[in-house]
């Protein structure tokens, strides 16, 4: 059995314009609220300069998977927003 001290945690600050912060959070929230796996937990918080993504996981493998997923989703959202502005 793993101890609580073996949990892995990360905080990622995605810098974004103020008008995009709500869009990013609203777009990522469904996945954070109903994750595909119970291995990790994600909290999304708006900050003045962007979105703070707090991830905690049972281990470093789960943490890496969650980080990759959220960063990829955020990248996709930002690319869509950039294309809409063209």
74 and 23 in contact (C-beta within 8 Å)?
A: no
Its pTM stands at 0.86
Tell me the per-residue pLDDT of 9-40, one tens digit each, with 9 for 90 and over: 999 999 999 999 999 999 999 999 998 788 89
Which tokens go with 33? 């609220």
CB-based contacts of 41, cutoff 8 Å, min separation 6: 35, 55, 56, 57
Task: Select from 76, 9, 12 the least CA-distant residue to 49.
Answer: 12
Question: Is the pLDDT score of 3 beyond 80?
Answer: no
Coil, helix or strand at residue 37: coil
Above pLDDT 70, what percent of the chain? 92
Asked if the model's pLDDT at residue 83 lies above 90, the reply is yes
Q: Which domains does the chain have, with CATH numbers?
A: 8-85 (3.30.310.50)
- Region of 8 (left: φ > 0; alpha: ψ -120 to 50; beta: rest) is beta
């Amino acid at each position: 059995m793993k101890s609580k001290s073996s949990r892995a945690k990360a905080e990622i600050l995605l810098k974004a314009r103020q008008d995009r912060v709500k869009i990013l959070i609203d777009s990522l929230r469904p996945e954070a609220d109903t994750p595909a796996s119970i291995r990790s937990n994600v909290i999304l918080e708006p900050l003045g300069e962007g979105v703070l993504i707090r991830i905690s996981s049972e281990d470093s493998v789960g943490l890496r998977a969650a980080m990759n997923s959220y960063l990829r989703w955020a990248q996709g959202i930002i690319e869509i927003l950039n294309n809409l502005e063209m």
